[in-house]
Copies of this chain bind each other. A is one copy, B any other.
Amino acid sequence: MSAQYRKLHDHFKRISHFEHFNNLGEWDLCTMMPDGGSEGRSEAMATLSSHIHEMRTEDWLSDSIQQAMQESLPAAQQANLVEMQRQVSQASLVPAKLVAAKTKAAFACEHAWREQRKNNDWQGFAPNLTGVIELAREEAQIRAEALGITPYDALLEKFEPGMTTDKLEQLFAPLRSELPGLIQQVVDKQAGEPNTSLTGKFDTAAQEVLSRKVMALLDFDFNQGRLDVSSHPFSCGVPGDIRITTRFDEDDFSSSLMSTIHETGHARYEQGLPTDWQGQPAGMARSMGMHESQSLFYEMQLARSEGFLGLIRNDINQAFGNDYSLEQLKHSFTRVNRGLIRVDADEVTYPCHILLRFDAEKALIDGSLAVKDLPEFWNANMQQLLGLSTQGNDKDGCMQDIHWTLGELGYFPSYTLGAMTAAQIRYAMEKQLGSLDKLMSNGRIKEIFNWLSANIWCKGSLMSTDELMTSATGEVLKGEYLLTHLKQRYLG
Protein backbone atom coordinates (compact mmCIF):
# COMPACT_ATOMS: atom_id res chain seq x y z
CA MET A 1 0.00 0.00 0.00
CA SER A 2 1.51 3.35 -0.99
CA ALA A 3 1.59 6.12 1.63
CA GLN A 4 -0.85 8.18 -0.44
CA TYR A 5 -3.28 5.29 -0.81
CA ARG A 6 -2.87 4.27 2.85
CA LYS A 7 -3.90 7.73 4.00
CA LEU A 8 -7.04 7.61 1.89
CA HIS A 9 -7.77 4.05 2.95
CA ASP A 10 -7.58 4.99 6.63
CA HIS A 11 -9.73 8.08 6.14
CA PHE A 12 -12.53 6.10 4.50
CA LYS A 13 -12.24 3.45 7.18
CA ARG A 14 -12.84 6.16 9.76
CA ILE A 15 -15.84 7.40 7.80
CA SER A 16 -17.23 3.87 7.90
CA HIS A 17 -16.91 3.88 11.69
CA PHE A 18 -19.13 6.95 11.91
CA GLU A 19 -21.51 5.42 9.36
CA HIS A 20 -21.66 2.44 11.74
CA PHE A 21 -23.41 4.67 14.30
CA ASN A 22 -25.59 6.31 11.69
CA ASN A 23 -26.79 2.87 10.79
CA LEU A 24 -27.29 1.78 14.39
CA GLY A 25 -29.11 5.02 15.22
CA GLU A 26 -31.57 4.48 12.36
CA TRP A 27 -32.16 0.85 13.23
CA ASP A 28 -32.75 1.62 16.88
CA LEU A 29 -35.09 4.46 15.97
CA CYS A 30 -37.29 2.11 13.93
CA THR A 31 -37.24 -0.87 16.28
CA MET A 32 -36.41 0.03 19.89
CA MET A 33 -36.48 3.75 20.65
CA PRO A 34 -39.33 5.05 22.79
CA ASP A 35 -41.13 8.14 21.44
CA GLY A 36 -39.47 10.36 24.01
CA GLY A 37 -36.13 9.78 22.34
CA SER A 38 -37.10 11.37 19.01
CA GLU A 39 -35.84 14.87 19.56
CA GLY A 40 -32.51 13.82 21.06
CA ARG A 41 -31.95 11.23 18.37
CA SER A 42 -32.74 13.57 15.51
CA GLU A 43 -30.36 16.22 16.87
CA ALA A 44 -27.60 13.65 17.36
CA MET A 45 -28.17 12.17 13.90
CA ALA A 46 -27.97 15.62 12.34
CA THR A 47 -24.61 16.31 13.98
CA LEU A 48 -23.32 12.89 12.99
CA SER A 49 -24.48 13.24 9.37
CA SER A 50 -22.90 16.62 9.00
CA HIS A 51 -19.66 15.28 10.48
CA ILE A 52 -19.67 12.45 7.93
CA HIS A 53 -20.42 14.94 5.18
CA GLU A 54 -17.49 17.09 6.28
CA MET A 55 -15.22 14.06 6.28
CA ARG A 56 -16.29 13.20 2.73
CA THR A 57 -15.64 16.72 1.50
CA GLU A 58 -12.32 17.55 3.15
CA ASP A 59 -10.20 19.78 0.91
CA TRP A 60 -7.28 17.43 0.44
CA LEU A 61 -9.33 14.44 -0.71
CA SER A 62 -9.85 15.06 -4.42
CA ASP A 63 -6.23 15.96 -5.08
CA SER A 64 -5.01 13.05 -3.04
CA ILE A 65 -7.25 10.61 -4.90
CA GLN A 66 -6.07 12.04 -8.25
CA GLN A 67 -2.45 11.64 -7.20
CA ALA A 68 -3.02 8.08 -6.01
CA MET A 69 -4.67 7.30 -9.33
CA GLN A 70 -1.37 8.21 -11.06
CA GLU A 71 0.49 5.59 -9.04
CA SER A 72 0.73 2.07 -10.41
CA LEU A 73 -1.51 0.38 -7.90
CA PRO A 74 -3.17 -3.05 -8.05
CA ALA A 75 -6.46 -3.05 -9.97
CA ALA A 76 -8.60 -3.51 -6.83
CA GLN A 77 -7.03 -0.46 -5.19
CA GLN A 78 -7.63 1.51 -8.36
CA ALA A 79 -11.28 0.44 -8.26
CA ASN A 80 -11.44 1.60 -4.66
CA LEU A 81 -10.06 5.01 -5.69
CA VAL A 82 -12.79 5.32 -8.33
CA GLU A 83 -15.45 4.66 -5.69
CA MET A 84 -13.77 7.07 -3.28
CA GLN A 85 -13.87 9.74 -5.95
CA ARG A 86 -17.55 9.00 -6.60
CA GLN A 87 -18.37 9.42 -2.90
CA VAL A 88 -16.36 12.62 -2.64
CA SER A 89 -17.89 14.20 -5.71
CA GLN A 90 -21.44 13.08 -4.83
CA ALA A 91 -21.00 14.66 -1.41
CA SER A 92 -19.35 17.82 -2.73
CA LEU A 93 -21.77 18.57 -5.57
CA VAL A 94 -24.65 19.94 -3.55
CA PRO A 95 -24.08 23.04 -1.38
CA ALA A 96 -24.70 22.50 2.33
CA LYS A 97 -27.36 25.22 2.27
CA LEU A 98 -29.41 23.32 -0.31
CA VAL A 99 -28.98 20.05 1.59
CA ALA A 100 -30.31 21.76 4.73
CA ALA A 101 -33.25 23.30 2.84
CA LYS A 102 -34.07 19.91 1.32
CA THR A 103 -33.95 18.17 4.69
CA LYS A 104 -36.21 20.76 6.25
CA ALA A 105 -38.76 20.73 3.43
CA ALA A 106 -38.76 16.93 3.29
CA PHE A 107 -39.28 16.62 7.01
CA ALA A 108 -42.26 19.00 6.97
CA CYS A 109 -43.75 17.44 3.84
CA GLU A 110 -43.44 13.87 5.07
CA HIS A 111 -44.74 14.73 8.51
CA ALA A 112 -47.89 16.41 7.17
CA TRP A 113 -48.32 13.72 4.49
CA ARG A 114 -48.91 11.01 7.13
CA GLU A 115 -52.27 12.62 7.96
CA GLN A 116 -52.96 14.13 4.55
CA ARG A 117 -52.67 10.77 2.85
CA LYS A 118 -55.15 9.18 5.27
CA ASN A 119 -57.56 12.05 4.57
CA ASN A 120 -57.03 11.99 0.79
CA ASP A 121 -56.11 15.66 1.19
CA TRP A 122 -54.46 16.49 -2.13
CA GLN A 123 -55.12 20.22 -1.75
CA GLY A 124 -53.22 20.27 1.55
CA PHE A 125 -50.40 18.10 0.21
CA ALA A 126 -49.78 19.77 -3.16
CA PRO A 127 -48.09 22.97 -1.92
CA ASN A 128 -45.69 20.99 0.31
CA LEU A 129 -44.85 18.62 -2.52
CA THR A 130 -44.32 21.56 -4.85
CA GLY A 131 -41.71 22.95 -2.48
CA VAL A 132 -39.94 19.62 -2.26
CA ILE A 133 -39.97 19.09 -6.03
CA GLU A 134 -38.60 22.59 -6.66
CA LEU A 135 -35.63 21.82 -4.43
CA ALA A 136 -35.17 18.44 -6.14
CA ARG A 137 -35.06 20.27 -9.49
CA GLU A 138 -32.49 22.67 -8.12
CA GLU A 139 -30.39 19.77 -6.88
CA ALA A 140 -30.72 17.94 -10.20
CA GLN A 141 -29.67 21.08 -12.08
CA ILE A 142 -26.57 21.58 -9.95
CA ARG A 143 -25.57 17.94 -10.25
CA ALA A 144 -26.23 17.97 -14.00
CA GLU A 145 -24.00 20.98 -14.62
CA ALA A 146 -21.17 19.51 -12.57
CA LEU A 147 -21.35 16.10 -14.24
CA GLY A 148 -22.18 17.31 -17.75
CA ILE A 149 -25.30 15.16 -18.01
CA THR A 150 -29.06 15.83 -17.95
CA PRO A 151 -30.75 16.72 -14.67
CA TYR A 152 -32.73 13.47 -14.35
CA ASP A 153 -29.67 11.40 -15.28
CA ALA A 154 -27.83 13.23 -12.50
CA LEU A 155 -30.42 11.95 -10.04
CA LEU A 156 -30.21 8.40 -11.41
CA GLU A 157 -26.45 8.58 -10.91
CA LYS A 158 -26.96 8.79 -7.13
CA PHE A 159 -28.48 5.30 -7.05
CA GLU A 160 -27.27 3.64 -10.28
CA PRO A 161 -23.76 4.73 -11.28
CA GLY A 162 -23.60 4.87 -15.07
CA MET A 163 -27.33 4.54 -15.68
CA THR A 164 -29.04 7.02 -18.04
CA THR A 165 -32.58 7.83 -19.11
CA ASP A 166 -31.82 6.55 -22.60
CA LYS A 167 -30.60 3.19 -21.34
CA LEU A 168 -33.64 2.91 -19.08
CA GLU A 169 -36.01 3.70 -21.95
CA GLN A 170 -34.39 0.94 -23.95
CA LEU A 171 -34.52 -1.53 -21.10
CA PHE A 172 -38.12 -0.66 -20.27
CA ALA A 173 -39.43 -0.55 -23.86
CA PRO A 174 -40.39 -4.24 -24.09
CA LEU A 175 -42.22 -3.98 -20.76
CA ARG A 176 -44.14 -0.96 -21.96
CA SER A 177 -45.33 -2.70 -25.07
CA GLU A 178 -45.85 -6.23 -23.84
CA LEU A 179 -46.87 -5.99 -20.20
CA PRO A 180 -50.49 -4.79 -20.49
CA GLY A 181 -51.30 -7.65 -22.83
CA LEU A 182 -49.39 -10.16 -20.78
CA ILE A 183 -51.23 -9.13 -17.62
CA GLN A 184 -54.58 -9.62 -19.38
CA GLN A 185 -53.55 -13.12 -20.48
CA VAL A 186 -52.44 -14.06 -16.96
CA VAL A 187 -55.58 -12.68 -15.34
CA ASP A 188 -57.73 -14.58 -17.83
CA LYS A 189 -55.80 -17.78 -17.21
CA GLN A 190 -55.99 -17.46 -13.43
CA ALA A 191 -59.73 -16.66 -13.59
CA GLY A 192 -60.24 -20.30 -14.53
CA GLU A 193 -58.27 -21.57 -11.51
CA PRO A 194 -59.77 -22.28 -8.08
CA ASN A 195 -59.62 -19.46 -5.53
CA THR A 196 -56.73 -20.38 -3.31
CA SER A 197 -56.23 -17.43 -1.02
CA LEU A 198 -54.78 -18.48 2.33
CA THR A 199 -57.23 -16.91 4.76
CA GLY A 200 -57.58 -17.46 8.48
CA LYS A 201 -56.05 -16.35 11.74
CA PHE A 202 -52.31 -16.88 12.04
CA ASP A 203 -50.67 -16.67 15.44
CA THR A 204 -47.94 -14.05 15.24
CA ALA A 205 -45.57 -15.99 17.52
CA ALA A 206 -45.88 -18.95 15.16
CA GLN A 207 -45.24 -16.59 12.24
CA GLU A 208 -42.03 -15.45 13.87
CA VAL A 209 -40.85 -19.03 14.42
CA LEU A 210 -41.64 -19.77 10.78
CA SER A 211 -39.77 -16.65 9.62
CA ARG A 212 -36.67 -17.68 11.53
CA LYS A 213 -36.83 -21.21 10.12
CA VAL A 214 -37.09 -19.91 6.58
CA MET A 215 -34.29 -17.40 7.15
CA ALA A 216 -32.09 -20.24 8.38
CA LEU A 217 -32.98 -22.26 5.29
CA LEU A 218 -31.87 -19.22 3.27
CA ASP A 219 -28.55 -19.39 5.14
CA PHE A 220 -29.05 -16.18 7.11
CA ASP A 221 -26.41 -16.26 9.84
CA PHE A 222 -28.06 -15.36 13.18
CA ASN A 223 -24.63 -15.07 14.72
CA GLN A 224 -24.09 -12.17 12.33
CA GLY A 225 -27.50 -10.55 12.38
CA ARG A 226 -30.97 -10.20 13.86
CA LEU A 227 -34.66 -10.25 13.00
CA ASP A 228 -36.89 -7.65 14.67
CA VAL A 229 -40.26 -6.04 14.16
CA SER A 230 -40.88 -2.54 12.76
CA SER A 231 -43.81 -0.84 11.09
CA HIS A 232 -42.10 -0.97 7.68
CA PRO A 233 -39.75 -3.86 6.91
CA PHE A 234 -36.15 -2.90 6.11
CA SER A 235 -32.63 -4.22 6.24
CA CYS A 236 -29.52 -2.48 7.45
CA GLY A 237 -26.35 -3.26 9.28
CA VAL A 238 -22.64 -3.13 9.68
CA PRO A 239 -19.93 -5.72 9.04
CA GLY A 240 -20.66 -8.85 11.02
CA ASP A 241 -24.05 -7.61 12.13
CA ILE A 242 -26.75 -7.33 9.47
CA ARG A 243 -30.26 -6.77 10.76
CA ILE A 244 -33.62 -7.09 9.06
CA THR A 245 -37.11 -6.30 10.25
CA THR A 246 -40.56 -7.53 9.37
CA ARG A 247 -44.12 -7.06 10.58
CA PHE A 248 -46.69 -9.70 11.43
CA ASP A 249 -50.36 -9.55 10.45
CA GLU A 250 -52.66 -11.98 12.23
CA ASP A 251 -54.92 -12.13 9.17
CA ASP A 252 -52.21 -12.78 6.60
CA PHE A 253 -49.00 -14.73 7.14
CA SER A 254 -47.98 -14.84 3.50
CA SER A 255 -47.16 -11.19 2.89
CA SER A 256 -45.12 -11.05 6.10
CA LEU A 257 -43.27 -14.22 5.15
CA MET A 258 -42.48 -12.93 1.66
CA SER A 259 -41.35 -9.62 3.05
CA THR A 260 -39.02 -11.40 5.49
CA ILE A 261 -37.59 -13.39 2.58
CA HIS A 262 -37.18 -10.19 0.56
CA GLU A 263 -35.23 -8.52 3.35
CA THR A 264 -33.21 -11.71 3.83
CA GLY A 265 -32.05 -11.31 0.24
CA HIS A 266 -30.82 -7.79 0.99
CA ALA A 267 -29.14 -9.06 4.13
CA ARG A 268 -27.38 -12.00 2.47
CA TYR A 269 -25.87 -9.60 -0.07
CA GLU A 270 -24.53 -7.46 2.77
CA GLN A 271 -23.33 -10.51 4.72
CA GLY A 272 -21.55 -11.70 1.57
CA LEU A 273 -19.70 -8.48 0.69
CA PRO A 274 -15.92 -8.91 0.54
CA THR A 275 -14.57 -8.92 4.11
CA ASP A 276 -11.14 -7.74 2.95
CA TRP A 277 -12.76 -4.52 1.78
CA GLN A 278 -14.89 -3.78 4.84
CA GLY A 279 -15.25 -0.07 5.40
CA GLN A 280 -13.87 0.81 1.95
CA PRO A 281 -16.04 2.24 -0.84
CA ALA A 282 -15.12 -0.67 -3.11
CA GLY A 283 -16.41 -3.08 -0.46
CA MET A 284 -19.96 -1.79 -0.63
CA ALA A 285 -22.98 -3.01 -2.59
CA ARG A 286 -22.73 -2.12 -6.27
CA SER A 287 -25.96 -0.11 -6.67
CA MET A 288 -29.52 0.08 -5.43
CA GLY A 289 -30.69 -1.89 -8.45
CA MET A 290 -28.18 -4.62 -7.64
CA HIS A 291 -29.39 -4.60 -4.04
CA GLU A 292 -33.01 -4.93 -5.16
CA SER A 293 -31.94 -7.73 -7.50
CA GLN A 294 -30.80 -9.80 -4.54
CA SER A 295 -33.96 -9.24 -2.50
CA LEU A 296 -36.11 -9.94 -5.58
CA PHE A 297 -34.05 -12.98 -6.48
CA TYR A 298 -34.88 -14.34 -3.02
CA GLU A 299 -38.51 -13.30 -3.00
CA MET A 300 -39.51 -13.78 -6.63
CA GLN A 301 -37.08 -16.18 -8.30
CA LEU A 302 -36.64 -18.47 -5.30
CA ALA A 303 -39.42 -18.14 -2.77
CA ARG A 304 -42.42 -18.20 -5.11
CA SER A 305 -41.05 -21.16 -7.08
CA GLU A 306 -42.42 -24.66 -6.79
CA GLY A 307 -39.07 -25.99 -5.59
CA PHE A 308 -38.85 -23.62 -2.69
CA LEU A 309 -42.50 -23.83 -1.67
CA GLY A 310 -42.00 -27.57 -1.57
CA LEU A 311 -39.18 -27.08 0.92
CA ILE A 312 -41.20 -24.93 3.32
CA ARG A 313 -44.68 -26.45 2.95
CA ASN A 314 -44.31 -28.65 6.03
CA ASP A 315 -43.03 -25.73 8.09
CA ILE A 316 -46.00 -23.59 7.05
CA ASN A 317 -48.48 -26.33 7.82
CA GLN A 318 -46.82 -27.11 11.14
CA ALA A 319 -46.79 -23.45 12.15
CA PHE A 320 -50.51 -22.93 11.75
CA GLY A 321 -51.92 -26.44 11.89
CA ASN A 322 -53.12 -26.28 8.28
CA ASP A 323 -52.81 -28.74 5.46
CA TYR A 324 -52.09 -26.64 2.40
CA SER A 325 -51.17 -28.61 -0.70
CA LEU A 326 -48.16 -27.55 -2.75
CA GLU A 327 -50.56 -26.64 -5.53
CA GLN A 328 -52.50 -24.37 -3.20
CA LEU A 329 -49.35 -22.59 -2.01
CA LYS A 330 -48.08 -22.16 -5.56
CA HIS A 331 -51.37 -20.68 -6.76
CA SER A 332 -51.60 -18.37 -3.82
CA PHE A 333 -48.03 -17.10 -4.01
CA THR A 334 -48.23 -16.43 -7.75
CA ARG A 335 -51.69 -14.84 -7.88
CA VAL A 336 -51.82 -11.79 -10.15
CA ASN A 337 -54.17 -8.89 -9.44
CA ARG A 338 -54.30 -5.43 -10.93
CA GLY A 339 -54.25 -3.06 -7.99
CA LEU A 340 -53.63 0.57 -7.12
CA ILE A 341 -50.91 0.06 -4.53
CA ARG A 342 -47.31 -0.50 -5.60
CA VAL A 343 -46.10 -2.19 -2.43
CA ASP A 344 -48.92 -4.74 -2.62
CA ALA A 345 -48.32 -5.53 -6.29
CA ASP A 346 -47.30 -8.95 -7.63
CA GLU A 347 -44.24 -9.30 -9.83
CA VAL A 348 -46.24 -9.18 -13.09
CA THR A 349 -48.02 -5.88 -12.48
CA TYR A 350 -45.23 -4.27 -10.44
CA PRO A 351 -43.26 -2.87 -13.39
CA CYS A 352 -46.36 -0.91 -14.49
CA HIS A 353 -46.23 0.98 -11.20
CA ILE A 354 -42.59 1.80 -11.91
CA LEU A 355 -43.12 2.87 -15.52
CA LEU A 356 -45.76 5.33 -14.32
CA ARG A 357 -43.47 6.80 -11.66
CA PHE A 358 -40.45 6.89 -14.00
CA ASP A 359 -42.43 8.90 -16.54
CA ALA A 360 -43.79 11.21 -13.86
CA GLU A 361 -40.36 11.82 -12.30
CA LYS A 362 -38.72 12.68 -15.59
CA ALA A 363 -41.49 15.15 -16.36
CA LEU A 364 -41.47 16.67 -12.87
CA ILE A 365 -37.74 17.25 -13.14
CA ASP A 366 -37.65 18.62 -16.67
CA GLY A 367 -40.61 20.84 -15.80
CA SER A 368 -43.02 19.45 -18.39
CA LEU A 369 -45.31 18.21 -15.60
CA ALA A 370 -46.46 20.55 -12.84
CA VAL A 371 -47.27 19.17 -9.42
CA LYS A 372 -50.83 20.45 -9.74
CA ASP A 373 -51.36 18.23 -12.79
CA LEU A 374 -50.01 15.10 -11.10
CA PRO A 375 -53.39 13.55 -10.12
CA GLU A 376 -54.61 13.75 -13.71
CA PHE A 377 -51.34 12.37 -15.05
CA TRP A 378 -51.52 9.52 -12.57
CA ASN A 379 -55.10 8.62 -13.37
CA ALA A 380 -54.51 8.68 -17.12
CA ASN A 381 -51.44 6.43 -16.86
CA MET A 382 -53.05 3.99 -14.44
CA GLN A 383 -55.96 3.70 -16.84
CA GLN A 384 -53.62 2.97 -19.70
CA LEU A 385 -51.25 0.57 -17.90
CA LEU A 386 -53.57 -1.29 -15.57
CA GLY A 387 -57.05 -0.14 -16.56
CA LEU A 388 -57.69 1.34 -13.12
CA SER A 389 -58.92 4.78 -12.10
CA THR A 390 -57.54 6.96 -9.31
CA GLN A 391 -59.95 9.81 -10.00
CA GLY A 392 -60.66 11.49 -6.65
CA ASN A 393 -58.63 8.79 -4.89
CA ASP A 394 -55.22 10.39 -4.64
CA LYS A 395 -54.39 8.63 -1.39
CA ASP A 396 -54.18 5.41 -3.41
CA GLY A 397 -52.78 7.30 -6.39
CA CYS A 398 -50.05 9.89 -6.45
CA MET A 399 -50.01 10.27 -2.65
CA GLN A 400 -49.23 6.63 -1.84
CA ASP A 401 -45.42 6.61 -1.76
CA ILE A 402 -43.05 8.16 0.75
CA HIS A 403 -40.20 8.67 -1.77
CA TRP A 404 -41.24 11.99 -3.31
CA THR A 405 -42.33 13.44 0.04
CA LEU A 406 -38.71 13.00 1.06
CA GLY A 407 -37.47 14.58 -2.16
CA GLU A 408 -36.08 11.27 -3.37
CA LEU A 409 -36.51 11.26 -7.12
CA GLY A 410 -34.61 8.88 -9.37
CA TYR A 411 -34.91 5.85 -7.10
CA PHE A 412 -38.02 4.11 -8.49
CA PRO A 413 -36.34 2.64 -11.61
CA SER A 414 -34.02 0.66 -9.31
CA TYR A 415 -36.90 -1.64 -8.36
CA THR A 416 -37.45 -2.78 -11.92
CA LEU A 417 -33.75 -2.82 -12.71
CA GLY A 418 -33.55 -5.17 -9.74
CA ALA A 419 -36.29 -7.43 -11.08
CA MET A 420 -34.61 -7.55 -14.49
CA THR A 421 -31.21 -8.24 -12.98
CA ALA A 422 -32.63 -11.02 -10.79
CA ALA A 423 -34.23 -12.71 -13.79
CA GLN A 424 -31.04 -12.48 -15.84
CA ILE A 425 -28.99 -13.89 -12.96
CA ARG A 426 -31.39 -16.78 -12.59
CA TYR A 427 -31.12 -17.83 -16.25
CA ALA A 428 -27.34 -17.50 -16.14
CA MET A 429 -27.24 -19.57 -12.96
CA GLU A 430 -29.44 -22.28 -14.47
CA LYS A 431 -27.10 -22.57 -17.43
CA GLN A 432 -24.40 -23.61 -14.97
CA LEU A 433 -26.33 -25.38 -12.23
CA GLY A 434 -29.38 -26.68 -14.08
CA SER A 435 -32.96 -26.14 -12.96
CA LEU A 436 -33.15 -24.32 -9.62
CA ASP A 437 -36.40 -26.12 -8.82
CA LYS A 438 -34.60 -29.45 -9.15
CA LEU A 439 -31.62 -28.22 -7.18
CA MET A 440 -33.88 -27.21 -4.32
CA SER A 441 -35.94 -30.36 -4.29
CA ASN A 442 -32.68 -32.34 -4.23
CA GLY A 443 -31.57 -30.51 -1.07
CA ARG A 444 -28.87 -28.59 -2.88
CA ILE A 445 -30.16 -25.06 -2.22
CA LYS A 446 -26.77 -23.99 -0.85
CA GLU A 447 -25.28 -24.21 -4.32
CA ILE A 448 -27.51 -21.28 -5.27
CA PHE A 449 -26.13 -19.15 -2.45
CA ASN A 450 -22.59 -20.22 -3.26
CA TRP A 451 -23.10 -19.07 -6.83
CA LEU A 452 -24.44 -15.68 -5.71
CA SER A 453 -21.63 -15.33 -3.21
CA ALA A 454 -18.92 -16.10 -5.74
CA ASN A 455 -20.38 -14.15 -8.66
CA ILE A 456 -22.15 -11.16 -7.08
CA TRP A 457 -21.72 -10.60 -3.35
CA CYS A 458 -17.97 -10.96 -3.00
CA LYS A 459 -17.42 -8.49 -5.85
CA GLY A 460 -18.73 -5.52 -3.86
CA SER A 461 -18.08 -2.44 -5.97
CA LEU A 462 -14.77 -3.72 -7.31
CA MET A 463 -16.27 -3.64 -10.82
CA SER A 464 -18.76 -1.40 -12.60
CA THR A 465 -22.34 -2.68 -12.91
CA ASP A 466 -21.79 -3.60 -16.56
CA GLU A 467 -18.57 -5.45 -15.74
CA LEU A 468 -20.22 -7.22 -12.85
CA MET A 469 -23.18 -8.36 -14.95
CA THR A 470 -20.88 -9.47 -17.75
CA SER A 471 -18.63 -11.40 -15.41
CA ALA A 472 -21.61 -13.03 -13.68
CA THR A 473 -24.01 -13.66 -16.58
CA GLY A 474 -21.92 -13.27 -19.73
CA GLU A 475 -23.66 -10.07 -20.86
CA VAL A 476 -24.67 -6.62 -19.68
CA LEU A 477 -28.17 -6.15 -18.31
CA LYS A 478 -30.91 -6.96 -20.82
CA GLY A 479 -34.59 -6.38 -20.28
CA GLU A 480 -35.79 -9.54 -22.00
CA TYR A 481 -35.11 -12.05 -19.21
CA LEU A 482 -37.74 -10.59 -16.94
CA LEU A 483 -40.42 -11.01 -19.61
CA THR A 484 -39.18 -14.52 -20.38
CA HIS A 485 -39.43 -15.40 -16.71
CA LEU A 486 -42.92 -13.93 -16.33
CA LYS A 487 -44.21 -15.75 -19.40
CA GLN A 488 -42.63 -18.99 -18.27
CA ARG A 489 -44.00 -18.86 -14.74
CA TYR A 490 -47.43 -17.34 -15.41
CA LEU A 491 -48.34 -18.62 -18.85
CA GLY A 492 -46.11 -21.72 -19.14
Contacts and interface: CB of A to CB of B under 8 A. Distances in A.
A225 B37 CA distance: 8
B226 A40 contact: no
Contacts of A278: 40
A17 B36 contact: no
A224 B47 contact: no
Interface in A447-478: none
A241 interface: yes
Given A21-B24, A37-B224, 8 more contacts: A17-B43, A24-B25, A32-B32, A35-B223, A39-B240, A40-B278, A41-B238, A41-B241
A232 to B, nearest CB: 19
A189 B208 CA distance: 54
A14 interface: yes
A33 B239 CA distance: 12
A221 interface: yes
Interface string A1-31: 0000000000000101110110011001000
A37 B222 contact: no
A48 interface: yes
15 contacts: A14-B47, A17-B43, A17-B48, A18-B51, A24-B25, A24-B28, A34-B222, A34-B223, A34-B225, A34-B240, A37-B240, A38-B240, A39-B239, A39-B240, A40-B239
A225 B278 CA distance: 33
Interface of A: 14, 16-18, 20-21, 24-25, 28, 32-41, 43-44, 46-48, 51, 221-226, 238-241, 278
Nearest to A238: B40
A395 B36 CA distance: 43
A47 B222 contact: no
A459 to B, nearest CB: 21
Contacts of A47: 14, 17-18
B238 A36 contact: no
A318 to B, nearest CB: 24
A159 to B, nearest CB: 25
Contact of A37 (B21, B40, B241): B241
A3 to B, nearest CB: 21
Contacts of A17: 43-44, 46-48
A49 to B, nearest CB: 10
A114 to B, nearest CB: 19
Given A14-B47, A28-B28, A20 B40 contact: yes
A377 B37 CA distance: 48
A36 B226 contact: no
Report the 8 A-B pairs with minimum CB-CB distance, sorted nearest first: A37-B241, A36-B224, A17-B47, A20-B44, A21-B21, A36-B240, A17-B44, A40-B239
A40 B226 CA distance: 15
Contacts of A41: 20, 238, 241
Nearest to A23: B44
Contacts of A223: 34-36
Contacts of A38: 240
Contacts of A16: 44
Contacts of A24: 21, 24-25, 28
Contacts of A14: 47
A41 B241 CA distance: 9
A20 B222 CA distance: 27
Nearest to A225: B34
B25 A21 contact: yes
A211 to B, nearest CB: 16
A34 B224 contact: yes
Given A28-B28, A223-B34, A241 B40 contact: yes
Contacts of A221: 36
Most buried by B among A24, A33, A226, A239: A24
Contacts of A37: 224, 238, 240-241
A314 to B, nearest CB: 28
A43 B18 CA distance: 10
A346 B225 CA distance: 40
A20 to B, nearest CB: 4
Contacts of A33: 241
Nearest to A39: B240
Nearest to A21: B21
A130 B43 CA distance: 43
A43 B278 CA distance: 12
